[in-house]
């Protein structure tokens, strides 16, 4: 596999705080990589190091195969980023701000219209930025980050401060950018559901270390944890299942949360057989769903933090 970003054993200390501790991270080329971690985990520090806004104490960062430190100009050309929140001239319009960004990178003027289209901001591109909502600013930030046609886009918690509709729109924009422009996108977030919905790969950062890194396919196509079966007769269904436990390779059967539901701990290949055995015993099946290990379970398994702590953020 080719990697857009590779981080090897990077450490960073701010006076008393060890922000990154021998961090290793690999962002596959062309993917949307969700960089997940609680507040203070070190996400912004990592992004600042990749974008060369701060220096690392040790380790290496490679951007598209070349050392980011040795090839600073090339790294800047390859990366477009919004770190924390985008900064603009508030008294200028969106279009004027994009012109400044284009000049800064020596990008062609025609690119301004392209990015206005890509980020879908033409309705308000001629309004002053001080009249923009948070969501509008975020989209203008993405347009500005794309002005020099980078191969990698880095967004640090892009949905912070957006309402649910704004979050949904931004999620769609990120997916479209990945699909249509075929660029690599690194998005940091502390919100599990957000990462779950946009990422192809996930890295879980905790206290300055990468605790886990996997593809979302591992989660989505992963082993079945249990089968949730909904029938017209829970008692009869449970009896049949227990009688056929060995034949169907079921490890256990328990009551689900709903009173018509049973949780059946078995492999995915038993699902069809369970359905047919219910039919042949005249039990009406109104629902079957395969429940897998979620990203949330994986996150809490490696960070050891409780759900309550996470919600308290
Ligand atoms: N400029 C700084 N000076 C001192 N300590 C810092 C500085 N910036 C970050 N830190 C510390 O480094 C650690 C990592 O911070 P960082 O901002 O990278 O985390 P984060 O994952 O981006 O968190 P958040 O989700 O809150 O944005 C934290 O303990 C933080 O307090
Ligand atoms: Mg941060």
What pLDDT, in 10s, does the model give residues 30-41?
A: 999 999 999 999
Q: Are strands 58-63 and 3-14 parallel, antiparallel or unpaired?
A: antiparallel
Domain boundaries, the chain: 3-220, 224-292
User: Averaged over 267-276, what is the pLDDT?
Assistant: 94
**Residues 65-99 pLDDT 10s:** 999 989 989 999 999 999 877 789 999 999 999 99
Residue nearest to atom 29 of ligand 1 (CA): 40
Does residue 16 sit in helix, strand or coil?
coil
43 CA distance to ligand 1 centroid (A)? Answer: 8
* pTM over cut 0.75: yes
178 close to 32: Cβ distance less than 8 angstroms: yes
CATH of 224-292, one of 3.40.50.720, 3.40.50.2300, 3.30.70.100, 1.10.760.10: 3.30.70.100
Ligand 2 centroid to residue 209 C-alpha, Å: 15
Task: Please classify residue 298 by burial: count the beta carbons closer than 10 Å to its beta carbon, then call 0-12 exposed, 13-18 middle and 19+ buried.
Answer: buried
Q: CATH topology for 3-220?
A: Rossmann fold (3.40.50)
How many CB atoms lie under 10 A from the CB of residue 81?
20
Q: What is the pLDDT of residue 52?
A: 86
Ligand 1 atom having least distance to the Cα of 47: 18
Q: How far is the CA of 44 from the centre of ligand 1 (A)?
A: 7
List, chain by chain if needed, residues with CB within 6 Å of any ligand 1 atom.
14, 17, 19, 37, 39-45, 190
Percent share of the chain, pLDDT over 70: 97
Contact 262, 237 (CB under 8 A): yes
pLDDT-based confidence at residue 26 (cuts at 50, 70, 90): very high
> Which string of b and e fits 117-147 if b means at least 16 CB within 10 Å?
ebbebeebbeebbeebeebbbbbbbbbbbbb
Nearest CA residue ID for atom 2, ligand 1: 14
Q: What is the pLDDT of residues 221-271, one digit of tens each?
A: 778 889 999 999 999 999 999 999 999 999 999 999 888 999 999 998 999
């Amino acid at each position: 596999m080719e990697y857009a970003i590779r981080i090897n054993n990077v450490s960073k200390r701010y006076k008393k705080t060890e922000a990154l501790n021998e961090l290793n991270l690999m962002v596959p080329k062309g993917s949307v990589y969700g960089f997940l971690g609680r507040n203070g985990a070190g996400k912004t520090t990592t992004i600042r190091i990749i974008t060369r806004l701060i220096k690392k104490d040790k380790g290496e960062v490679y951007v598209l195969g070349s050392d980011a430190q040795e090839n600073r100009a090339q790294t800047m050309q390859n990366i477009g980023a919004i770190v924390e929140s985008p900064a603009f001239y508030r008294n200028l319009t969106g279009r004027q701000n994009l012109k400044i960004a284009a000049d800064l990178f020596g990008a062609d003027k025609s690119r301004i219209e392209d990015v206005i289209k890509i980020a879908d901001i033409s309705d308000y591109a001629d309004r002053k930025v001080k009249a923009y909502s948070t969501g509008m600013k975020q989209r203008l930030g993405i347009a500005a980050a794309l002005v020099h046609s980078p191969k990698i886009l880095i967004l640090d918690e892009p949905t912070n401060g957006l309402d649910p509709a704004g979050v949904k729109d931004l999620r769609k924009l990120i997916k479209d950018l990945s699909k249509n422009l075929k660029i690599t996108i690194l998005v940091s977030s502390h919100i599990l559901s957000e990462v779950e919905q946009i990422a192809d790969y996930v890295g879980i950062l905790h206290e300055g270390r990468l605790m886990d890194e996997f593809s979302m396919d591992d989660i989505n196509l992963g082993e079945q944890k249990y089968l949730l079966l909904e029938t017209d007769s829970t008692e009869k269904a449970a009896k049949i299942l227990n009688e056929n436990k060995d034949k169907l390779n079921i490890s256990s059967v328990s009551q689900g949360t709903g009173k018509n539901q049973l949780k059946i701990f078995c492999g995915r290949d038993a699902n069809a057989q369970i359905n047919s055995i219910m039919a042949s015993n005249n039990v009406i099946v109104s629902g079957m769903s395969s429940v897998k290990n979620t990203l949330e379970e994986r996150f809490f398994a490696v960070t050891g933090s409780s759900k309550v702590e996470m919600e308290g953020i």
